Each structure stands twice: as structure tokens, then as C-alpha cells.
Chain A
């Protein structure tokens, strides 16, 4: 059985679904950040797959994935800095304990 683009897209969908579940279910903010990284990686797999399918000579998908990786790195750095600041101020990083803005 040959490997079709659908196989790679399937892995991407699975990773994205699991990542979303991690984001929605983890109480720890660092765990939520891990889920976001999983989701971004799933999107990258899909982007590179479509790049290979639709334009092996144009490389737009790979370049998009490159930008996504860069933005994800920046997001992780700022996100973790925020989490550390919250931990210092509050002694907890559980997302459902931080509810001051709730109406």
C-alpha cells in the first residue's frame, strides 16, 4: 500500500485533535502551552504535505512552516515568561484558579 498525502493529513488531524484536547483539559498553564505546540506542529505537517502535493517547485508551504516555527518559538518564550511571572505573584499556574476577570 502506497503512502498518499491523505496519510500525512491524517496524522496532522490526529495531532491537532490531541493538542486541542490537551489545551482544553490541562489545568496547568505549562501543559496548555504544550498542547499549543502540538497543534502548531500538526499544522506544519499539513502545510509541508500540501507543499509537496501542489507545488514541489514553489516551496511556499515549507516557507510558511518556517514562519510558523519562528512565531511558535517567540510565543513559547513570552508565554513561559508570563507563566513564571504569574507563578511568582500568585504561587499557582492552574488556569482555573486565575479568574479575577470573570464577570
Chain B
């Protein structure tokens, strides 16, 4: 079944991010997981989000991360330890959080899945984005501008004087 295949790929990709010692391989595994999440969006009937996911996450963020890994190449050397010493407490915290969340979601009575909408909701999505959510939309464009300028200022080589 499509869902199980896609969910399996997503979880396997995430596990790859966790277990690959080479950070570059972990980044490639991250791309796999992010693509699988895009497929999950399609299964949920959110085609536009799936497109955005592929464009922004797989196309931009993941490639940016791989570039950063390559620019800081020395740290992926084999002898450098890749995990912190606090591995056991970290595992306890993460597993505990996942267990509690899973328990809560198990107790909650979720209504069954609504039938797939007949037509794409793109028009409705655009309408709401530019009416109800107009203020967050404008604020987030300012945030993007700030991030753009900030990234250039931070990553620029300092001029020798």
C-alpha cells in the first residue's frame, strides 16, 4: 500500500540522518526523508504543499546543507567523534517524548479521514493567504528579507584592513 511504502521511506531516511557517520551521507538521507514527506502531503491531498516542499526543502534547504557540509569538510574526517557524550540521556529524552506523544494521540478519538476533495484547493488557499492571513504573509516577507541580509552579512568574508 502506498502509505506504508512512503511512511517507511520517510522513517528510513530519518534513521539515516541519525546513524550515518559521514555527515554528507546523512544529508543525502535527509533529502530522501524530505521527499517522502512531500509524498505524504500528496497522500493527504495537499498537492500545493507537496510542490512547495520539493522546491524549498529538497531543492533549496537540503542543497544548502550539503554545501555547508562540503565547506566545512575537515570535520567529517573519520577519526572525529560524531556523537556527543550525552548519547544515553538524549535517547531517553527523545524516546520518552515520542512515547508520551504517541500515548496521547492513541487516547484521542480522531474522526475518520474526510473524503479526498474533488478539486484542488489551490484557489481557496490563495484566497485565504491574501485575506485572512494577509498580516502574517507580509510579516513573513519581512522575515525573509531580514534572513537574506543577515545571512549575507554573517557569511561574508571579513575585509582585512
- If the complex has contacts A52-B45, A77-B148, A96-B85, are A18 and B140 also in contact, measured as CB distance less than 8 A? no
Counting chain A residues whose Cβ lies within 8 A of the other chain, the interface size class is 35 or more
Interface residues of B (CB under 8 A from A): 1, 3, 7, 10-11, 14-15, 17-18, 23, 26-27, 30, 33-34, 37, 40-41, 43-46, 48-49, 52-53, 56-57, 60-61, 64-65, 68-69, 71-72, 74-76, 80-87, 89-91, 93-95, 97-98, 101-102, 105-106, 110-114, 117, 121, 124-125, 128-129, 133, 136, 140, 143-144, 146-148, 150-152, 154-155, 157
Q: A16 near B98 (CB under 8 angstroms)?
A: yes
Q: A34 near B150 (CB under 8 angstroms)?
A: no
Q: B61 near A37 (CB under 8 angstroms)?
A: yes
Which A residue's beta carbon lies closest to that of B30?
A34
- If the complex has contacts A3-B113, A53-B111, are A21 and B90 also in contact, measured as CB distance less than 8 A? yes
The A57-103 residues at the B interface (CB cut-off 8 A) are 57, 59-60, 62-63, 65-67, 69-78, 80-85, 87-88, 91-96
User: Cβ of A71: which chain B residues have Cβ within 8 Å of it?
Assistant: 140, 143
User: Cβ of A30: which chain B residues have Cβ within 8 Å of it?
Assistant: 23, 27, 65, 68-69, 72
Q: B91 near A21 (CB under 8 angstroms)?
A: yes
Which B residue's beta carbon lies closest to that of A17?
B98
User: Cβ of A16: which chain B residues have Cβ within 8 Å of it?
Assistant: 97-98, 101
What does DSSP make chain A's interface, helix, strand, loop or mixed? helix
20 contacts between A and B (CB under 8 A): A4-B112, A5-B110, A24-B90, A24-B94, A31-B17, A37-B57, A44-B49, A44-B53, A52-B45, A56-B117, A60-B128, A66-B129, A74-B147, A77-B147, A77-B148, A80-B68, A81-B151, A81-B152, A83-B68, A92-B75
Q: A45 near B37 (CB under 8 angstroms)?
A: yes
Closest 5 CB pairs of A and B: A17-B98, A24-B90, A74-B147, A81-B154, A21-B94
Q: B44 near A49 (CB under 8 angstroms)?
A: yes
